[in-house]
Structure 1
Amino acid sequence: MGAYDVLVIGGGPGGYVAAIRAAQLGLKTAVVEREHLGGICLNWGCIPTKALLRSAEVYRLAKEGAHFGVTGAGLSFDAARIVARSREAAARLNAGVGFLLKKNKVDVIWGEARLLGKGDVKVGAPTKPPVTPQLPAPKTTLGEGVYQAKHIIIATGARPRVLPGLEPDGRLVWTYFESLKPDRFPKSLLVVGAGAIGVEFASFFRTFGVEVALVEALPQILPAEDAEIAALARKSFEKQGVAIRTATMVAGLERKADSVVATLKGPDGATETLEVERVLSAAGVVANVENLGLEAAGVALEKGVIKIDGLGRTSAPGVYAIGDVAGGPMLAHKAEHEGGSCVEAIAGLPAHPLDRALIPGCTYCHPQVASVGLTEEKAKAAGFEIRVGRFPYLGNGKAIALGEPEGLVKTIFDKKTGRLLGAHLVGAEATELIQGFVIAMNLETTEEELMKTIFPHPTLSETMHESVLDAYGRAIHV
């Protein structure tokens, strides 16, 4: 049917960014999408969860109003409206992606794609109807057929991992899909998996009074984070009433009429039972590599994801992969960056492989957690002689004024060169502050340059400055 320079399979953050960048570079481009523009992140992940967590933040602050001299009677919350607002945010951005693709003259092909080899892609009918709220399908929308492209980019993302015995049923056992749109908030919830997804939902539901138990198979919650930061986050969550069990497995589930009895196996082998209304399985995600015709097209897999080089090239000429389907860290901003780099390499522009050490990670619980680079443990394991700086939010004037004195900024430097190896934060607005360290690391900034940088007062960013100063014995406010 149609012939393109670039055909992108998947309209999520990686896919639509790659398509728009390709169009900007003058390449005739199309996106194949089977369900919703913006992908899981925009529709069922990053955006709606942040809308939910914003509601939780507003409710938490309202409950603490007396501390700020603000009082109000009859404080309550409307669960249905909280969920509806999050869906509205997703719908608005979904429509925005459709507008951007249309603006950049990117064709949208609704359906499910399969590689046929030699640049041919067969698009069949989607298993679900397209989701395009608040925006009519653009005139460029196409459908079933065989399309030809010089370059094919696979950006099919990932889906929730299903653990044996924890198979979701949509009612008693949830994935993040059901957690985003519950018909009511349960009285009790077991969250299985204490990575970013599990911790965010545990934080959200606990704020609204749900009795939350958080179970993690590994020895610490937030396993990807620095151990000291994770320990501080755990202390805060437990203070809020989240019951946390680490080095613990779910050995079995008994599903009753309107509750679940979970058997938990602890680190010493002892078991206990816990009855809750609902269970959220948040044990990570798996790449969507099935039914794409990868084997026939000669696209190799490695550990369940598509094997690529630093610029998204697969083992098959003319076929590329970006985002979650190409491996971790499975983050939207990583996918977007890969999409841009991949397309620029296709167009013959200078392109640089992604430096995974410079990808920030953010968890939007309360308190927030954010990081970039090496943890203290990994820096030592890599053979670095290090300097570590720490500065507590308690010593920061803006944090005190905000009523957010709980937090820590931790910086790790190479003792020999002054190179910033990693930065780790827990506390208010950590997910916004981290980008300062990301920029510094990308610019190969040294400790001397950071210490000479003027940070505005009063701001939370001063904690970043003081952490650097502390690494060299020069902190002022601690």
Structure 2
Amino acid sequence: MKYDIIVLGSGPGGYVTAIRASQLGFKTAIVEKENLGGVCLNWGCIPTKALLKSAQVFDYLKHAAEYGLSVTAFDKDFGAVISRSRGVADGMSKGIQFLMKKNKIDVIEGTGKLKPGKKIDVTAADGKTTTYEADHIVIATGARSRELPNLPQDGVRVIGYRQAMTLEKQPKSMIVVGSGAIGVEFAHFYNSMGTDVTIVEFMPNIVPVEDEDISKQMERSMKKAGVKIMTNSSVEKIDTSGNGVKATVKTAKGEEILEADILLSAVGIKTNIENIGLEECGIAVDKDKIMVNAFYQTNIPGYYAIGDVVPGQALAHVASAEGITCVEKIAGMHVDPIDYGNIPGCTYATPEIASVGLTEKQAKEKGYELKIGKFPFTASGKAKAAGTPDGFVKVIFDAKYGEWLGCHMIGAGVTDMIAEAVVARKLETTGHEILKAVHPHPTMSEAVMEAVADAYGEVIHL
């Protein structure tokens, strides 16, 4: 079988690449060994948001009296919460099947292995192997939960994100190792459901990639919600010989033993680049990533790679953008390389976090003279009315030219607000242009305008 383009992997990088390739007139196939949609749709972005929505509704019920409502009896059904999440994921995966048919993309089920000469072997579940050829092969095999040598995952007491989404029984206590997006989202979910949660973070701040002010606010909010947080700490060893897990944690004050039903390892991801034929084809790899140019061509002509397997942020929206850029370049279109300095990052715990561009520390290290503005949601009429006054918007501008260097938000619904900053930075908008763009009242989004006004000494509501 000969195709113009074959995509290996059907996550948000792979399936988007295949659809764009088909739109551009290429005869396209996609190879997938598990479920269409990859980790994001089946085990990541989508099902976790379903879990977090259940947690939010449960929190509302717990605080109904604060809204003048009387709820006499309510409880959670942990199994039903998990079941709803799986149902949402299954529905989304079926949606990808529809998109494949609509765009006339052949779905080849099985495990793919690259071969020299722009070929790929696909081994089906019954063990039968078929060879396919293409003018262009795009590698989009994604990543999985990273395992540390001192935190081996047994899938029962020491788990990764997959098991955290499908536990049959709610644990009474949980240790979460790592406080990136995955760690804090699961910590928030299980804490909201009533599990006793402790986060162990190696770095001085939780959500360590964020601006320091954001990290500090997140720590305050999570502690207020009942999550225990240990920073500057590391799990040295674990003991699973008893009923639960005993973790030896090294802290600044010495060693401490934590006990819990379950330990969730959320210490990052490991790329899926083993046993896919990279060595056989001579494709260059460095530090667990496939080496590519600005348009995702590997060192071997006809082979490309996108998403988590290449350098850059391991985010669904980045993988999708890379796939589109890759096939548009193959099609001979004029495309600009992706600006990795203008990629938004989002964390969907409560409160949410959204950010783009430089942190205050990074901007200072680059030598910029700064104008910084901050607007707290305690001063927002919409946030107060909604009962969500936690958090703020922080904006960072270059004092000399007015360039919007960074935007950092923490609060209810901020993941839906960050796109304003992304688009404005793409268009090279200045602070004054944001200030003079009339924002609707009362909304959470006007906090962006107010934060900019604060940076320029014109804030009204502070």
TM range (shorter): over 0.9
Equivalent AA in structure 1 for residue 92 of structure 2 = L
Could you tell me whether the CA contact under 8 Å between 1:236 and 1:367 is conserved in 2?
Answer: yes
Match of 2:41 in 1: 42
Counterparts of 1:309 and 1:401, CA distance in 2: 49
Q: 1:304 to 1:283 in 2, by over 3 A?
A: same
Q: Does 1:296 align with 2:295?
A: no
Match of 1:125 in 2: 124
Counterparts of 1:249 and 1:441, CA distance in 2: 37
Q: 1:191 aligns with which of 176, 183, 195?
A: 176
Equivalent AA in structure 1 for residue 19 of structure 2 = I
Equivalent AA in structure 2 for residue 173 of structure 1 = V
Counterparts of 1:241 and 1:399, CA distance in 2: 22
Match of 1:454 in 2: 438
Could you tell me whether the CA contact under 8 Å between 2:312 and 2:340 is conserved in 1?
Answer: no
Match of 1:432 in 2: 416
Could you tell me whether the CA contact under 8 Å between 1:252 and 1:262 is conserved in 2?
Answer: yes
Match of 1:385 in 2: 369
Q: Does 1:472 align with 2:456?
A: yes
SS in 2 for 1:13: coil
Q: Does 1:76 align with 2:42?
A: no
SS in 2 for 1:73: coil
Deviation at 1:100, TM superposition (A): 0.2
Q: 1:162 aligns with which of 142, 147, 151?
A: 147
Equivalent AA in structure 2 for residue 77 of structure 1 = K
Counterparts of 1:223 and 1:205, CA distance in 2: 21
C-alpha distance after superposition, 1:1-58 (max 9, x if no partner): x101100000110000000000000000000001010000000000000000000000
Could you tell me whether the CA contact under 8 Å between 2:185 and 2:348 is conserved in 1?
Answer: yes
Deviation at 1:127, TM superposition (A): 9.2
Counterparts of 1:407 and 1:192, CA distance in 2: 24
C-alpha distance after superposition, 1:171-229 (max 9, x if no partner): 11110011001111111000000100000000000111111000011111101100111
Counterparts of 1:308 and 1:156, CA distance in 2: 15
Counterparts of 1:328 and 1:55, CA distance in 2: 32
Match of 1:357 in 2: 341
Counterparts of 2:70 and 2:324, CA distance in 1: 49
- Trace 1:72-471 onto structure 2 (pairs within 5 A): 72-126=71-125, 144-268=129-253, 270-471=254-455
Equivalent AA in structure 2 for residue 476 of structure 1 = I
C-alpha distance after superposition, 1:148-176 (max 9, x if no partner): 00000000000000011211111111100
**Bigger Cα displacement from structure 2, 296-305 vs 6-15:** 296-305
**Bigger Cα displacement from structure 2, 318-327 vs 43-52:** 318-327
Deviation at 1:126, TM superposition (A): 4.6
Counterparts of 1:296 and 1:444, CA distance in 2: 45
TM-score by length of 2: 0.99
Counterparts of 2:308 and 2:220, CA distance in 1: 31
**Bigger Cα displacement from structure 2, 34-43 vs 114-123:** 114-123
Counterparts of 1:337 and 1:83, CA distance in 2: 31
Match of 1:134 in 2: none
Match of 1:8 in 2: 7
Equivalent AA in structure 1 for residue 56 of structure 2 = E
Could you tell me whether the CA contact under 8 Å between 1:450 and 1:468 is conserved in 2?
Answer: yes
C-alpha distance after superposition, 1:323-368 (max 9, x if no partner): 0011331100000000100010000011111111111000000011
Deviation at 1:76, TM superposition (A): 0.4
Deviation at 1:256, TM superposition (A): 3.3
Deviation at 1:258, TM superposition (A): 2.4
Using the aligned pairs only, state the percent identity.
48
- How many corresponding residue pairs? 462
Match of 1:135 in 2: none
C-alpha distance after superposition, 1:63-82 (max 9, x if no partner): 11101011111110000100
For structure 1, the 5+ residue unaligned runs are 129-142
SS in 1 for 2:35: coil
Could you tell me whether the CA contact under 8 Å between 1:35 and 1:126 is conserved in 2?
Answer: no
Could you tell me whether the CA contact under 8 Å between 2:245 and 2:261 is conserved in 1?
Answer: yes
Could you tell me whether the CA contact under 8 Å between 1:287 and 1:327 is conserved in 2?
Answer: no
Equivalent AA in structure 2 for residue 54 of structure 1 = K
Deviation at 1:302, TM superposition (A): 1.5
C-alpha distance after superposition, 1:401-433 (max 9, x if no partner): 101111110000011110101100010101111
Counterparts of 1:283 and 1:173, CA distance in 2: 13
Counterparts of 1:411 and 1:387, CA distance in 2: 8
SS in 2 for 1:36: coil
Counterparts of 1:309 and 1:472, CA distance in 2: 40
Counterparts of 1:274 and 1:474, CA distance in 2: 50
CA RMSD, 1 decimal? 1.1
SS in 1 for 2:215: helix
C-alpha distance after superposition, 1:111-164 (max 9, x if no partner): 111111111111113599xxxxxxxxxxxxxx8311100000000000000011
Counterparts of 1:3 and 1:267, CA distance in 2: 60
Deviation at 1:241, TM superposition (A): 1.0
Could you tell me whether the CA contact under 8 Å between 1:188 and 1:277 is conserved in 2?
Answer: yes
Counterparts of 1:207 and 1:328, CA distance in 2: 33
Equivalent AA in structure 1 for residue 136 of structure 2 = H
SS in 2 for 1:84: helix
What stretches of structure 1 move > 6 A for 4+ residues in a row?
none
Deviation at 1:383, TM superposition (A): 1.4
Counterparts of 1:453 and 1:256, CA distance in 2: 61
Deviation at 1:289, TM superposition (A): 0.6
Counterparts of 1:121 and 1:276, CA distance in 2: 45
Counterparts of 1:316 and 1:456, CA distance in 2: 52
TM-score by length of 1: 0.95
